[in-house]
Structure 1
């Protein structure tokens, strides 16, 4: 932690300096993107000029142009390109200090006569044509949201934007779930470069770091093409940020929020230290500097030295009254500008920084149950707790991009930084019937996360045939530190629970047990190096434009993880264990005949791992017939993963897997009409185990009271994907689609209990299920309600959007796991997802009502045994019950549309999360018939944001 402090300070300072550079202009611009109507490919070197003037520009390597320095008024722009019909676009209005976006499509000239034709359209008509071309010409089956739709929504970050994509849902307000498949089956790319996982133990990226107003487009690819990463089955999320902002802007946004459970309630926890108000953890939480570096060195010391070292730990088990929980606060600064120089060279700058601080309280019920009685079918309760979680999160997120384009070249440097500090305190009370105790529990846990991702990329157009060369180099550094997690249990006999004369006793045993009274330290560091080179060659064949694309890539991951655990022990009864928690570890109680610390670190509590991915691909975008297009090819990925660890017996564990995957894919698109497509797709993809899942590292989850251990024998999952889709575009921005899909999994990775587990002592691990199948049907609608009455101005302002995904999955274990049912639905797989919304957009007002529901899914797979061929559950599956989530947003432009006020209300129905065992088998949660394992009450959240664009 100490070694990274200065680096973090320097990076944060540089990012704020970039954001602070602002210069404002008073003239307007016309900007946009030009593409081929038939293929959807962007066109390079197209001449765009103001008609009857010399003022103009040419499109760059991305098909974009900017014409700056225009006075207020209406213009006609003339667009010409060799081999294409010239276009005149009328009624292009420019306003002072703003940019007018004009995206358009060009029609290829099939004859000399057509080349001489001049097509005239107004700007509104051309915007419709451009949107149709974008929607219809994607290579694979995908769903997305353009910058224009994002602009009209109240969404603040990419995580909120993704909620609106068909078949997608967001978990914890930031992690994307596609087609009901969890993290491991999705991947993310930012500006064509794969994003690293922002979480240490899951394949997930926290999308809330990217402000929505810096996004050019968001697309979720649901079918694979050879130029996409091969490790997904749900979706590949592609986020494209703006390189050259349409207009110069400096934007400030401030938001505050009120939660019905948290805000102004009594808040408890540990006080912040040093720079923790910026999300940077204090080095004072590290192990004492003089502490021995290994368990063996510490435990071999004489008792007097161990006592001396015990006193070096801060007596910080006490919990402070931090007053009332304040409303959540967030401040965001955004700067963007594009500078146009001679010869159409351009410099683009985009930067944003977001600082947030939130104090939240969640209330949970937590139970567990033993094995059911054979005669009655009822299970005895093992424990029942009421938990209060107090969480304070401080985070600093930043994005800084700079791009320079000249001639047929463009270079970009893009950076993302995430820094967060979580200070958590859990207060638990309840009963443990399994050991006949009443308990009061305290746990203090701090987590510091840091990630920086930098990408240097270049785009070049080569030769007269306009072939394209693209390359990128990327580096990611990520750390996840948990310094000094402290836990303490106070307990007394269950029969004395109502007898105040008998006090609770601190759980300081004669043999150290960290779960009773102890400390836990862990450090995880990831480094990822990657690079890619792509080349595309356009050519004419079958009287149409075709494209061949090839590429090579490499990604190298390096991880180091280590943890140390300590437990307090007492050798005599000289200590009054009924003292308050902040008195137990006072200096007078730390002695050889009283209390001192022992190290309980297991040999498996550290590991090192590397992942080396190399490969290449070849593909073709072909127009085979007038209405039939095909994208086909093959991707080859060679993944070598190595892991070195030690199991709890002290024996070395080495993982060395070398996978060569040949991943073909084909996507066919047939244009039934000008407004309708029929799409078909087939592809092979994979899903790889995470390092944490392979490592024999044993972690006791104090919250769940289970042990989780990795499985070094895990293999990667292989997936066959089949898709069929009909899509219809009745008007610009409107869509109706019906999709069906089937996925066959080999060696799918699931979470299950180790053989030998019982209800009272459970150990979770990861397993490969030999076979699994997933079937699904998706329906999507985005429709203006003006179809009900075309003369109604009110209905013209309303848009109904909805998507429903219905899925069925089945895992077949083939008897390989003796304690798990052979056939069941996939763990984490939702049987349905419903996303609907009604949006209102009129002049300066925007409003929307959103509804989301996810079908019940298996959270943790249970266990049991087969008797006479019939499975009898000893510990039933734990399901996550469906929740009805309703959110409302309304916004109003103010101060001549430079300012904006937004009000968001989340979880209007105050829906709780519930996890339960379906004892009565009715496939729904009932309070009387089922066993509630966990419920979480989040409350309703009201947030108000104020924004201003200078």
Structure 2
């Protein structure tokens, strides 16, 4: 019996071998006809069949085994002419090589380059750029933003390895390092912050409608800014992708916690999201009237939901037979959210002196206008002009009720208070960029550009009002600081320019070797004014309200009472002025040592000059109380070296070392006190810069087009690290200090992008793909804390502020395309572990932010060539955000907790 089975098996194997021997192999490469660049993801099919394949990262393909015979082969790629070759003979047991060179429809050099630049929105092409780069880079393009339902640049970078967002803090943390260690650029030029509390502009100001790609550089070179320790985040704005474009997008949605008929909004912002900007009542330093333009009491409004509208248009012209593209985009976005939660505070022994519940209503509005022109001529010459105007308005009303002994100063547990806090932030960013690339001759290239940016940021009429609850009645409370109105404005001017030259060196390989050198500068000035009006009742009886619904602060504080001498109004004016000048020169070189080995090295020199002028109070006679000036001048020498070794066609190793620095932020250098809804902060003019020594190692395995396995490790030795800390200081302020001599940040990062299946029919009109993505990081940070005569750390060592040890981002997406119809669905998951918000001093335990998971569902599709639809469901799990302190006894004290709700949106887009 066994003999018969073995005989049958032998016959089957012999026949299979005979059949395989009759098959042949067809393989080759697909490149751009003009630039000779590999085309990733080009479709190669046998005409009239469903047999086919696509090119990998090297532009190479290999067809499944083909029976001997003669075939007609078709290759096609988006924006390129299809090519058909007949009479391709396949011989048994032999390999046939067939290469293709594709051109655009008009076969024009400039046309090809424009298409190549536009395609930087593609996931595959961005991954190809990552593969070819000597240093490790990471980018996310418009295609991936759409697939994952990302709405802005902030959401984009939080999908990358080692990047997380800290709730309640603008901007992001990269490898455990926060705002002061990050540099944000727009098209390669620095942009100023719109908020006096932060170094970097809020990334959520850049809506996905204007983003071509977002790049994150976590490895540094001498030709980039030296004031960076975590990452350089560069937002590239969209350019025209076709000869003509006209697209309209509209979407609407709602937040699960906000859908009610009692949504509350503050007075002073119109329906379109523009604030009433003014600086308080007339009378100058000593107000002579109570003519505030906004009411104190908020109003109830019908919930209108979230809404977003975008119009984009562009056209390409010919000037002297050279292409000029013009692209314009404008958008309006508005979202409403509601939060319910609680706040507590404590002294270092765990005694709770504040325990209140709150309800908060937020309305956020964004207006954007972007325009760019791009002109090309000759071989490698181009010039671009970008204009970007972004207006954002955020407003919130918060009602807090409960026990706060610090505010009441009564010591009686029965005493509680009712607090209304209303805040408006209105920001306008204007960006003008003019830059170009010029090929001087076959060896020399020049890049030159200038950017002029301005920011106007207003906080007009922040209103804080207290009532005292006693025996079931709400009554007026006249302690100083309990009822105030605050006005502030920040004016920032920012001019930066660059001039660089590159000289091509001869090598025996790909002619990529070069030397470069140049000069860049950044000249900024931040002028901040804050005016606080203290209002206290005097010469009047206590005013009572029987219920919270009847409370009216406009009834208490008004012009009639002021004129009758029942209100004392005190004006307190503080300001700071920060001038920062950075001049940088660099020399950098890259040389290809052999066919697989690339070396890049250089030296940058930065001269930094910062002047801080601060006054805690401008007195009635104009004199400055508590005025301080501080100047910081420093010269930084910043060497860097990067090595890339291509093990083979799909595997690369990278190694990088560099030195950078971290300057304190303008607000951290100014002893200005900022009163937030949960925390209060104060700067420190004695801060000094931190120095970062960076080491990076990375291995990449490029599996195929759009697929990668990557493992990286990093180590940072930070001298004089800067951090926020909390102690038992009067007023409970969070402070800033160089908290140690040395800090360490190290970790490993993993990334996987894999197509679980990717099927295409014969003419490439049908595509069926399921993709999985995962990036994860483990980050270790440690700093041995300083001990000083005035303050002692609660623990000897600490993690760095904002450093989450574990970060996970994952997505599973499915795409089906057939001709002009398509559908894409994605499930996106993110998680970060617990991390320190503020380091503890003087017996006060460190303040921690609880790690949370988030889950989003995204669905989009094209019904035909013109009409598309989308649906998103964000924050499906609706986790609880929480801040806490762990006591030595093992007890955990929750400082703040709330939920944000789930958001659902539906959208339509139409392309003409």
Q: Is the 8 A contact 1:887 1:905 kept in 2?
A: yes
Distance 1:390-1:128 versus aligned 2 partners, 3 A rule:
closer
Measured against aligned partners, the alpha-carbon deviations of 1:209-265 in whole angstroms (never above 9, x if no partner) come to 445465444321110012221122222123333444234211111111111101234
Distance 1:822-1:367 versus aligned 2 partners, 3 A rule:
same
In the TM superposition, what is the alpha-carbon distance from 1:468 to its structure 2 partner? 1.3
Q: Is the 8 A contact 1:162 1:170 kept in 2?
A: no
Distance 1:164-1:697 versus aligned 2 partners, 3 A rule:
closer
Counterpart in the other structure of 1:607: 576
CA distance in 2, matches of 1:576, 1:33: 83
Measured against aligned partners, the alpha-carbon deviations of 1:841-889 in whole angstroms (never above 9, x if no partner) come to 111010111111111111122222xxxxxxxx3x211100010101110
1:670-709 mapped onto 2 (5 Å cutoff) = 670-701=645-676, 703-704=677-678, 706-709=679-682
CA distance in 1, matches of 2:725, 2:638: 29
In the TM superposition, what is the alpha-carbon distance from 1:561 to its structure 2 partner? 0.9
2:341 to 350, 364, 369: 364
TM-score, normalising length: structure 2: 0.82
2:299 to 285, 295, 320: 320
Structure 1 position 424 matched with structure 2 position 426: no
TM-score, normalising length: structure 1: 0.78
1:523 to 480, 489, 510: 489
Counterpart in the other structure of 2:608: 639
CA distance in 1, matches of 2:178, 2:466: 35
Structure 1 position 139 matched with structure 2 position 139: no
SS of 2:704's equivalent in the other structure is coil
Measured against aligned partners, the alpha-carbon deviations of 1:78-137 in whole angstroms (never above 9, x if no partner) come to xxxxxxxx984259789xxxx9999899xxxxxxxxxxxxxxxxxx9xx99977752322
Structure 1 position 841 matched with structure 2 position 815: yes
Q: Unaligned 5+ residue runs, structure 1?
A: 1-29, 41-69, 78-85, 106-123, 299-305, 373-378, 865-872, 923-928
Structure 1 position 942 matched with structure 2 position 904: yes
Counterpart in the other structure of 1:83: none
CA distance in 2, matches of 1:282, 1:215: 30
SS of 1:818's equivalent in the other structure is coil
CA distance in 1, matches of 2:314, 2:358: 45
CA distance in 2, matches of 1:563, 1:186: 27
Counterpart in the other structure of 2:365: 394
CA distance in 2, matches of 1:898, 1:931: 55
Q: Is the 8 A contact 1:252 1:947 kept in 2?
A: yes
SS of 1:589's equivalent in the other structure is helix
CA distance in 1, matches of 2:885, 2:184: 34
Distance 1:348-1:87 versus aligned 2 partners, 3 A rule:
farther
Counterpart in the other structure of 1:338: 316
Q: Is the 8 A contact 2:522 2:581 kept in 1?
A: yes
CA distance in 1, matches of 2:293, 2:238: 48
In the TM superposition, what is the alpha-carbon distance from 1:431 to its structure 2 partner? 1.6
SS of 1:767's equivalent in the other structure is strand
SS of 1:730's equivalent in the other structure is strand
Q: Is the 8 A contact 2:758 2:770 kept in 1?
A: no
1:623-634 mapped onto 2 (5 Å cutoff) = 623-634=592-603
Counterpart in the other structure of 1:852: 830
CA distance in 1, matches of 2:172, 2:123: 30
Measured against aligned partners, the alpha-carbon deviations of 1:879-936 in whole angstroms (never above 9, x if no partner) come to 0001010111011211x232211111111111121101123687xxxxxx41110012
Distance 1:650-1:723 versus aligned 2 partners, 3 A rule:
same
1:230-241 mapped onto 2 (5 Å cutoff) = 230-241=226-237
In the TM superposition, what is the alpha-carbon distance from 1:412 to its structure 2 partner? 1.2
Q: Is the 8 A contact 1:916 1:933 kept in 2?
A: yes
In the TM superposition, what is the alpha-carbon distance from 1:518 to its structure 2 partner? 1.7
In the TM superposition, what is the alpha-carbon distance from 1:486 to its structure 2 partner? 1.5
Distance 1:857-1:156 versus aligned 2 partners, 3 A rule:
closer
CA distance in 2, matches of 1:269, 1:458: 46
Counterpart in the other structure of 1:488: 465
Counterpart in the other structure of 2:879: 911
Q: Is the 8 A contact 1:636 1:661 kept in 2?
A: yes
Distance 1:582-1:215 versus aligned 2 partners, 3 A rule:
closer
1:615-626 mapped onto 2 (5 Å cutoff) = 615-626=584-595
Measured against aligned partners, the alpha-carbon deviations of 1:425-444 in whole angstroms (never above 9, x if no partner) come to 11111122563321111122
CA distance in 2, matches of 1:640, 1:448: 30
In the TM superposition, what is the alpha-carbon distance from 1:347 to its structure 2 partner? 0.7
CA distance in 2, matches of 1:849, 1:157: 18
Measured against aligned partners, the alpha-carbon deviations of 1:695-741 in whole angstroms (never above 9, x if no partner) come to 1212333x22x542211111111100001111101111100011010
Query: How many corresponding residue pairs?
Result: 798
In the TM superposition, what is the alpha-carbon distance from 1:543 to its structure 2 partner? 5.4
In the TM superposition, what is the alpha-carbon distance from 1:521 to its structure 2 partner? 1.3
SS of 1:673's equivalent in the other structure is coil
1:74-153 mapped onto 2 (5 Å cutoff) = 74-75=82-83, 88-89=100-101, 134-146=129-141, 149-150=144-145, 153=148
CA distance in 2, matches of 1:588, 1:831: 58
Distance 1:655-1:931 versus aligned 2 partners, 3 A rule:
same
Q: Unaligned 5+ residue runs, structure 2?
A: 1-29, 40-77, 86-97, 546-550, 618-623
Larger RCO of the pair (alpha carbons < 8 Å, separation 6+):
2
In the TM superposition, what is the alpha-carbon distance from 1:472 to its structure 2 partner? 0.9
In the TM superposition, what is the alpha-carbon distance from 1:470 to its structure 2 partner? 0.8
CA distance in 2, matches of 1:249, 1:788: 30
Structure 1 position 931 matched with structure 2 position 893: yes
CA distance in 1, matches of 2:146, 2:588: 34
In the TM superposition, what is the alpha-carbon distance from 1:947 to its structure 2 partner? 0.9
